[in-house]
Amino acid sequence: MEEKAYKLLASQLDISGKRAKELIDRGLVYVGDKKLKIARAPLKEDTKFRVELPANIEKIYEDDDMVVVNKPAFLDSYEVEAEFPGAKLIHRLDRETSGVLLLAKNEEFLQKAIEEFKNKKVVKRYVAWVEGVVYEELKIDAPIWSVKRAGKVISKIDFKRGKEALTIVKPNIVQGKKSKVDIEIKTGRTHQIRIHLAYVEHPIVGDEAYGSVTKAKRILLHAKEIEIFDKHFIAPEPKDILKYK
């Protein structure tokens, strides 16, 4: 016999159907090595699930103006914000992206920090595993156009309507047909790194939406460093970034 996936999960974990749907929708539930994507998918009643909950939020730094954390993968930036009452996000990371995230503790500092981002005075460095072999530095200068549709932001390379976007990619390690790369972005467009790497035919491992052919627990992208004002923050690489399998 078969039953809807979220009902089976709810029964096995002794949780509500709503909570089971939430876990599936957030990409935290696996059947074998495959991520379960559809909460209402019919599955055999003896199906065994694996749930991978996000790691704890690690505080890197705090003073009177800001809180800096190492955001784990599978948490929305707004979920992190909710853990620090009164603090406001200065910028955001995609849900599956881990790494340095900045929050302001007062309005004056928030506006100053936002201006630093707008004026391109903030240094942002990432590390990622990508498809294919990257053996030389890549300078990706391609405008990105974003539009909201059905509550979601869709971005793409568009040389007529797009806004300036510049990404620098440097080779780090080659392992088989995958490469670990260091990335610095000079602008901050929605999904910029993901789109630019796909544009040069090196999509991030696990990023099926932008062309990755490799299954992974998440998009293997980590925000490693941020320099703002006179401060420099580093988030240690998680295990899945330090070494690819």
Question: E strands within 132-199?
Answer: 138-141, 144-149, 152-157, 166-175, 178-185
List of residues 6+ apart from 5 with CB closer than 8 A: 24, 29, 36, 38, 39, 40, 41, 42, 43, 47
Return the pLDDT at 152. 76
State the average pLDDT over residues 222-242.
Answer: 96
186-217 pLDDT, tens digit each: 898 989 999 999 999 999 999 998 999 998 88
Residue 44 sits in the same domain as residue 80: no
Between CA 220 and CA 204 the distance in angstroms is 6
**Rounded-to-integer distance, Cα 156 and Cα 220, Å:** 20
pLDDT at 150: 72
Q: Active-site positions?
A: 94
Which of 51, 72, 87 terminates a domain? The answer is 51
Question: Does the structure show a pLDDT above 80 at 245?
Answer: no
Residues 28 and 85 in one domain: no
Q: Are 10 and 16 in contact (CB under 8 A)?
A: yes
Looking at residue 28, what DSSP letter applies?
-
| 124 and 20 belong to one structural domain | no
Residues 18 and 107 in one domain: no
**80 and 26 fall within a common domain:** no
* Residues 102 and 179 occupy one common structural domain: yes
The CATH number of whichever domain residue 172 belongs to comes to: 3.30.2350.10
Q: pLDDT at position 27, please?
A: 81
User: In the predicted model, what is the mean pLDDT of the chain?
Assistant: 92
Q: How many folded domains does the chain comprise? A: 2
Structure confidence at residue 25 (pLDDT): 86
The arithmetic mean of pLDDT across residues 166-174, rounded, is 97
Shared domain for 83 and 25, answered yes or no, is: no
Single pTM value for the model: 0.83
**What pLDDT does 54 receive?**
78
Domain match, 23 and 98 both:
no
Range of the domain at 19: 2-51
Residues 70 and 152 in one domain: yes
> 33 pLDDT band (50/70/90 cuts)?
confident
In a shared domain, residues 44 and 81: no
Say whether both 24 and 115 belong to one domain: no
172 with 65, same domain: the answer is yes
The pLDDT tens digits of the residues spanning 145-160 come to: 988 777 777 789 999 9
CATH number at residue 46: 3.10.290.10
Q: What is the pLDDT of residue 243?
A: 84
